[in-house]
Amino acid sequence: MPDFTEHIMKNWEWCEQYRSRLGEEAYRTYVNKVIDLLTGMKPNSYFSIEKNVTPENRDLFIKVCCLFMHAQYTSDAPRDVCHGFNSDCTEVLCEKLEYSK
């Protein structure tokens, strides 16, 4: 079984590395596509990285997901879902948040 945890963001250096490698416009386009995918996920659904992301794009895809999740977790904005990875980082999960009343 694959394990993609090695691609999880450990620092912010990757941003500049990918900007230099891809160019600013291509980098932003890719980041925006990933963010659109994540924000469009339905509650209690998952996206298979293993099945849907090419090996060439896995590192950047997972790091952009980490960027999105970091922004989501550190934001004070109310939200009804929470994104995360499964244990081997082969899937992105979108879980519905339940608030007690």
Total domains in the chain come to 1
Does residue 70 sit within a domain? Answer: yes
Does residue 78 sit within a domain? Answer: yes
Average pLDDT over residues 73-91: 90
The Cα 38–Cα 92 span in angstroms is 8
pLDDT of 101 reads 52
Domain range spanning residue 10?
Answer: 5-96
The answer on pLDDT for 91 being more than 90 is yes
What is the reported pTM? 0.92
Does residue 39 sit within a domain? Answer: yes
pLDDT of 4 reads 97
Does residue 84 sit within a domain? Answer: yes
66 CB-near residues (< 8 Å, 6+ apart): 8, 9
Does residue 101 sit within a domain? Answer: no
Name the residue type at position 50. E
Does residue 46 sit within a domain? Answer: yes
Does residue 26 sit within a domain? Answer: yes
Average pLDDT over residues 58-85: 91
Using the structure block, give the residue that is written with the tokens 């394990």. Answer: 3
The answer on pLDDT for 100 being more than 90 is no
Average pLDDT over residues 54-61: 98
The answer on pLDDT for 76 being more than 70 is yes
The tens digit of pLDDT for each residue in 14-44 reads 999 999 999 999 999 999 999 999 999 999 9
The Cα 32–Cα 1 span in angstroms is 29
Task: Judge contact between 49 and 91, C-beta under 8 A.
Answer: yes
pLDDT of 99 reads 66
The Cα 66–Cα 2 span in angstroms is 19
Among the listed residues 4, 61, 17, 8, the one whose alpha carbon sits nearest the alpha carbon of residue 35 = 61
Does residue 89 sit within a domain? Answer: yes
